[in-house]
Amino acid sequence: MTNTMAEVSVTDKIDVKNIPVDVQLHKPGKTTPGRYPSRDRIYVRAMKGMHQAIRRYMGFFFMGLFMLLPWLRYNGEQAILLNIAEQKFSIYALTLWPQDFTILAWIFIIAAYGLFFVTTFYGRVWCGYLCPQSVWTFIFMWFEEKIQGSRNQRMKLDQQPWSFNKFSKKFLTHLCWVAFALFTALIFVGYFTPIDHLFLNFFTLQAGFWATLAVLFFTFCTYGNAGWMREIMCTHMCPYARFQSAMFDKDTFTVAYDERRGETRGPRSRKDTDYKARGLGDCIDCNLCVHVCPTGIDIRNGLQYECINCGACIDACDDTMEKMGYPKGLISYTTENRLQGKGAHILRPKLLGYFAVLLIGCLAFAYTLHSRQPLEFDILRDRGALFRDTSEGWVENTYTLRVINKSQQPQTFVFSVSGLEDARWIGPTELTVAGGETASLPISLAADPWELAQPVTDITFTVRVEGQPDIEVSQTNRFFSRR
């Protein structure tokens, strides 16, 4: 037995391979000691096409909506006002208070899982079509193109020495950037403070410190992000670009290049019909897909985290294919399985899971909003004394009833108490509160001590909305006596 094992250990040896331990580090460039080489500026070429038209129309619609909403009025007040200082969010007839945090939580959950669902199904279309960073960047590039010219003209302009012509174009471009950034910053801050006073007070130097600071801060951020940083925000600073791959699978629709059809690349004339016999694919290597990419990548190198799925390269390639007389779709929204000749699976567990959570979130949000009472009721006791004796020998407790009118209409609230037999209510039983306001009602309860069986009696205060008997809120409290 021992000899047999010895023979196995000697004859059945496993080949050992040497694993290199040298690590190749990416070192800074020699021209800039101690620093990584700075990025090359990306000159984006303007492109027209179906996907760019969709992007522009969606951008116009939501940008117009963003600029219009804070100016709308409801019952003489700003319809949408997220007043952080007063901890009150007014959205037309709905007023949200800190006690309504559940509603805001459901809104964030719905937004998050809606984004996850769309990303799993169609990739980073949010980044390419609706992300504020992309929308503002495309607007800034539009100013740049209209003032400085096309892609080639802008490249030549930057290569020229400084002159009055170059200075004037650069100055006008940055002036338009700053003006648009300032205007949109005022609109954004107008969601959190009355916008009609904000514009007037800001330009007359009468705005408050925090409002002025917020406007200048968002102006600076918009100007820097959309004018200077641009794709750096998407490739290095946005966390969504990093964790998006966790939601991708082989059936996610992304912008992709059909390598089997396009390779080998090579230029040719439009009349060349024998290019396939020479081993060429449909890609003529015009590089337009690179010129129109806002992040400067070559989609022909495969899926890259920098791609924001804006579809600009699709429109550029389809335009080239049409001019060459080739079928469109060399670059398209497709899946990895389709590129490999496999069938696509639209309904898959991950996508259905995101949709299920999204549906549950929407239902929970609707239920929470429907079951929400249009008032908030609190009771504060007198801290000076638990009780006091009246001249008639009765025991008296003092309370402050605090009610919040969550609606945008003035409401009259009617108060009552139960659990204390033959108690006297000292003070008014009704209170009218303006829409979105808070009011307090000090009252006292007096009871005959001979009617009290114990020193502490549980009582219940109830508040109802006048004319709406189905709306009521109750709070329990205690009545103290000397027994």
Q: What is the pLDDT of residues 184-213, one digit of tens each?
A: 999 999 999 999 899 999 999 999 999 999
Distance CA(297)–CA(295), nearest Å, equals 6
pTM listed for this prediction: 0.80
Residue 5 predicted with pLDDT over 50: no
Q: Is the dihedral of CA 149, 155, 160, 164 positive or negative?
A: positive
CB contact burial 310-348 (16+ within 10 A = b; e otherwise): bbbbbbbbbbbbeebebeeebbbbbbbebbeeeeeeeee
Residue 177 predicted with pLDDT over 90: yes
Mean pLDDT, residues 218-242 taken together: 90
Q: What is the pLDDT of residue 194?
A: 93
Residue 78 predicted with pLDDT over 80: yes
Q: What is the pLDDT of residue 37?
A: 46
Kindly report the average pLDDT of the chain as a whole number. Answer: 88
The answer to which of 39-43, 312-316, 435-439 has the lowest mean pLDDT is: 39-43
The answer to which of 69-73, 240-244, 337-341 has the lowest mean pLDDT is: 240-244
10 Å CB burial of residue 107 (0-12, 13-18, 19+) is middle
Q: Is-contact 398 442, C-beta < 8 A?
A: yes
CB contact burial 61-78 (16+ within 10 A = b; e otherwise): eebeeeeebbeeeeeeeb
Residue 342 predicted with pLDDT over 90: no
Q: What is the pLDDT of residue 11?
A: 44
Residue 67 predicted with pLDDT over 60: yes
Q: What is the pLDDT of residue 10?
A: 43
Distance CA(259)–CA(401), nearest Å, equals 73
In three-state secondary structure terms, 290 is: helix
pLDDT, one tens digit per residue, over 357-381 is: 999 999 999 999 888 888 889 999 8
Residue 9 predicted with pLDDT over 60: no
Q: What is the pLDDT of residue 39?
A: 55
- At 36, the pLDDT band (50, 70, 90 cuts) reads very low
Q: What is the number of other CB atoms lying within 10 angstroms of the CB of residue 291? A: 19
Which amino acid is present at 361?
G
Whether the upstream peptide bond of residue 264 has omega within 30° of 0, thus cis, is yes
Mention every residue, 6+ apart, whose C-beta is less than 8 A from residue 274.
none
279: left (phi over 0), alpha (psi -120 to 50) or beta: left
Cα dihedral angle (139, 140, 146, 150), rounded to 10 degrees? -100
Q: Is-contact 120 351, C-beta < 8 A?
A: yes
Mention every residue, 6+ apart, whose C-beta is less than 8 A from residue 162.
none
Q: What is the number of other CB atoms lying within 10 angstroms of the CB of residue 124? A: 27
Percent residues over pLDDT 90 in the chain: 64
Which string of DSSP letters, residue by residue, matches 41-89?
PP-PPP--SHHHHHHHHHHHHHHHHHHHGGG-EETTEESEEEETTTTEE
Mean pLDDT, residues 450-474 taken together: 89
Q: What is the pLDDT of residue 407?
A: 82
| Interior angle at CA 84, CA 78 and CA 87, nearest 5 | 95
Distance CA(344)–CA(338), nearest Å, equals 6
Q: Is-contact 144 328, C-beta < 8 A?
A: no
Q: Which letter does DSSP use for residue 437 in this model?
A: -
Mean pLDDT, residues 91-95 taken together: 83
- At 483, the pLDDT band (50, 70, 90 cuts) reads low
Q: Is-contact 218 189, C-beta < 8 A?
A: yes
Whose tokens are 């117009």? That residue is: 64
Mean pLDDT, residues 278-306 taken together: 92
Q: Is-contact 81 90, C-beta < 8 A?
A: yes
The top-level CATH class assigned to 375-480 is: mainly beta
Q: What is the pLDDT of residue 416?
A: 93
Mention every residue, 6+ apart, whose C-beta is less than 8 A from residue 368.
102, 103, 106
Domain layout of the chain by residue ranges: 249-339, 375-480
The answer to which of 91-100, 261-270, 333-342, 456-465 has the lowest mean pLDDT is: 91-100
